[in-house]
């Protein structure tokens, strides 16, 4: 088996040289799916895994724009249209200076299986730019978004490809992008999700990823007869996903003691609640990329250049970015008695870190299962746009909760081993794969 996986990965590495995040995401899937294909040879004969790991289309373009001083700036723009077997390409846009082809391909690849898990009809895609929103004025962000959409508009559409937000892309950016699309096409359609509630957005979309992650962790805890009540929680990041996770974990009776940024993390022994959660939104909106001001404002400790994983907590929710939780962090969490790690970000734990959690037999969920609530509510936004209708917050939240329960059930179905331990990595990958693979078989060699 190891030989087959190695051989498959050699091909991936040769065809996608230097794309280390993409290799990492494909290896995680291959380790689970290649043994599964051995037992289900129909997928092997049709080369489904090989086809799945090659994007249907990769679009790269120039994004020229003018800054407030009148100077011309050039950024790279991308959209990876990865797989459309079960629905239009669907996935976020990331604006961050670290963005490159490898990062967007890893995200697009994971998105195929994540979207399949949601039970909704969405294919996989991802896009973005190496544009750095840090320190940019609203006008600069608008001019950048307009230029970005001036190329992207010809590749997307409500039945073709439906982008949304990710790191650096929230409600403000979706507004500028939507305005430009509408102007160029003269069409008011559900071409983007994460829109404002007055112009076609779904209630609960901002909360969805963080809430969904906590709902997923709640399901995992219930398999052990446990809950969030009275637990201490470490959250990383301070963006959209972290904000939703902090809010919902608190509502379920837990005490969230950390949030983090690229500058370090804060430890709030009394818990991040009420006004402090509101303050997270202010911090994010400053575009300064720092959490230190939280410590100054609320008189708590700030740990410069450190990560929250050194604190003793029961539950860890990594919600910042890829490869932010390393093997030593995982060991420290386990030594400190962590019982549950549920990924809000995409691929935040390195493969070695995941091994530590799985060997310790703690509850561990990969982002493609536990953070699927964001894109699930994006799927519900698409449905509401098609119906030209809007559901209440309660209705959307209920559907989100049910979807997260369904995803958890699917993971258990395919991931439970002989001793009863649920390998959520195995469960999520097989459950996501089967639906897409069967659709690809039915649609012939495309
Ligand atoms: P935001 O832009 O709202 O926040 C991103 C957070 O991560 C910020 O705290 C950001 O700080 C931090 N971050 C980003 N890159 C780095 C880095 N290299 N080092 C340290 N911190 C970093 O994004 P979201 O909250 O939307 O996204 C967070 C994660 O959740 C990402 O992995 C994203 O892919 C994932 N996700 C998002 C979904 C959504 O619906 N928004 C859905 C599912 C997953 P800074 O900007 O200063 O770097
Ligand atoms: O990683 C993700 O799932 C997202 N950024 C959300 C994608 C979406 O289309 O809502």
What's the 3-state SS for 44-79?
HHCCHHHHHCCCCEEEEEEEEEECCCCCEEEEEEEE
Do 157 and 282 share a domain, yes or no?
no
Ligand 2 near 91 CB (within 6 A): yes
Cβ–ligand 1 distance for 345 under 6 Å, the answer: yes
User: CATH number for the domain including 75?
Assistant: 3.40.50.10860
216-256 residue pLDDT tens = 999 999 999 999 999 999 999 999 999 999 999 999 999 99
pLDDT in tens, 180-217: 999 999 999 999 999 999 999 999 999 999 999 999 99
Query: Does 307 participate in catalysis according to the annotation?
Result: no
Q: In this predicted model, what pLDDT tens digit does every residue of 337-386 receive, in sequence order? A: 999 999 999 999 999 999 999 999 999 999 999 999 999 999 999 999 99
**Same-domain status, 36 and 64:** no
Closest ligand 1 atom, residue 291 Cα: 9
* Whether residue 331 sits in one domain with residue 225: yes
Please report whether residue 163 resides in a domain. yes
In this structure, which ligand is nearest to the CA of 348? 1
What pLDDT is recorded for position 153?
A: 98
- What pLDDT is recorded for position 284? 87
Instruction: Tell me, yes or no, whether 212 and 346 share the same domain.
Output: yes
Bridge partners (DSSP) listed for residue 169: 166
Counting the structural domains of the chain, the total is 3
- Domain with 255, as residue range(s), is 206-370
pLDDT at 271: 98
Same domain, 29 and 170: no
Q: Per the residue annotation, which of 126, 255, 307, 426 is the catalytic one?
A: 126
Q: Is 430 in the pocket of ligand 1 (CB under 6 A)?
A: no
pLDDT less than 50: residues of the chain: none
Examine the domain organization and report whether 69 and 42 are in the same domain.
no
- 168 Cβ closer than 6 Å to some ligand 1 atom: yes
pLDDT at 1: 75
Judged by DSSP in three states, 421 sits in: coil
C-alpha pair distances (Å), 31 with each of 37, 393, 410, 418? 11, 39, 19, 19
Judge if the beta carbon of residue 92 lies within 6 A of ligand 2.
Answer: yes
Residue 375 CA: which ligand 2 atom is closest?
Answer: 10
If asked whether residues 6 and 95 sit together in one domain, one would say no
Domain boundary among 306, 341, 370: 370
pTM over 0.95: yes
Beta bridge partners of 166: 169
Local structure of 325: helix, strand or coil: strand
* Same structural domain, 303 and 337: yes
- Ligand 2 proximity of 369 Cβ (cutoff 6 Å): no
What is the whole-number distance in angstroms between the Cα of residue 165 and the centre of ligand 2?
A: 6
| Whether residue 91 sits in one domain with residue 156 | yes
For residue 1, the 8-state DSSP code is -
Based on the fold, state whether residues 115 and 146 are members of the same structural domain. Answer: yes
Question: Shortest CA distance to 130 belongs to which of 144, 140, 142?
Answer: 144
Confidence (pLDDT) at 288: 81
Residue 92 domain-assigned? yes
Query: Taking a C-beta distance cutoff of 8 angstroms, is the pair 167, 96 a contact?
Result: yes
Cα-to-centroid distance, 319 and ligand 1 (Å): 7
pLDDT of residue 237: 97
In a domain, 351, yes or no: yes
Does residue 239 share a domain with residue 148? Answer: no
Question: 198 C-alpha to center of ligand 1: Å?
Answer: 25
Domain containing residue 329: CATH number: 3.40.50.720
C-alpha pair distances (Å), 21 with each of 221, 348, 407:
30, 11, 25
C-alpha to C-alpha distance for 209 and 207, rounded to whole angstroms: 6
SS3 112: helix
């Amino acid at each position: 088996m190891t030989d087959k996986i190695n051989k498959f990965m050699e091909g991936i590495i040769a065809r996608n040289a230097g794309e280390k995040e993409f290799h990492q995401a494909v290896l995680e899937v291959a380790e689970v799916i290649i043994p599964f294909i051995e037992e289900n040879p129909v997928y092997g004969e049709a080369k489904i895994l090989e086809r799945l790991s090659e994007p249907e289309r990769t679009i790269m373009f120039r994004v020229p724009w003018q800054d407030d001083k009148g100077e011309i700036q050039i950024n790279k723009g991308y959209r990876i249209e990865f797989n459309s077997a079960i629905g239009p390409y669907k996935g976020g846009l990331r604006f961050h200076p670290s963005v490159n082809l490898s990062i967007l391909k890893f995200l697009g690849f994971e998105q195929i299986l994540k979207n399949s898990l949601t039970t909704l009809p969405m294919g996989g895609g991802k896009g973005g730019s190496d544009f750095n929103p840090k320190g940019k004025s609203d006008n600069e962000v608008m001019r950048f978004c307009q230029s970005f959409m001036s190329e992207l508009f010809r590749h997307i559409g409500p039945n073709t490809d439906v982008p949304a937000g990710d790191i650096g892309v929230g409600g403000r950016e979706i507004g500028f992008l939507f305005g430009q699309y509408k102007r160029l096409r003269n069409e008011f359609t559900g071409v983007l999700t994460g829109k404002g509630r007055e112009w076609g957005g779904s209630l609960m979309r901002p909360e969805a990823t963080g809430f969904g992650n906590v709902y997923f962790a709640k399901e995992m805890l219930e398999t052990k007869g446990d809950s969030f009540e009275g637990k201490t929680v470490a959250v990383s990041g301070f963006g959209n996903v972290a904000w939703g996770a902090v809010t919902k974990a608190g509502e379920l009776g837990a005490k969230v003691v950390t949030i983090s940024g690229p500058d370090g993390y804060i430890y709030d022994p009394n818990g991040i609640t009420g006004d402090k959660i509101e303050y997270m939104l202010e911090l994010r909106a400053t575009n300064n990329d720092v959490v230190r001001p939280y410590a100054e404002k609320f008189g708590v400790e700030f740990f410069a250049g450190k990560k929250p994983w050194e604190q003793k907590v029961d539950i860890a929710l990594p919600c910042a970015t890829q490869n932010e939780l390393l093997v030593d962090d995982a060991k420290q969490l386990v030594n400190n008695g962590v019982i549950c790690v549920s990924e809000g970000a995409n691929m935040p734990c390195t493969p070695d870190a995941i091994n530590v959690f799985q060997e310790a037999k703690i509850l561990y969920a990969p982002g493609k299962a536990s953070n699927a609530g964001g894109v699930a509510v994006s799927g519900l936004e698409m449905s509401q746009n098609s119906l030209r209708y809007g559901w209440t917050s309660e209705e959307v939240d209920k559907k989100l909760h049910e979807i997260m329960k369904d995803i958890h059930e699917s993971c258990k179905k395919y991931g439970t081993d002989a001793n009863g331990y649920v390998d959520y990595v195995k469960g999520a990958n097989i459950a996501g794969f089967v639906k897409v693979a069967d659709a690809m078989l039915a649609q012939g060699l495309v």
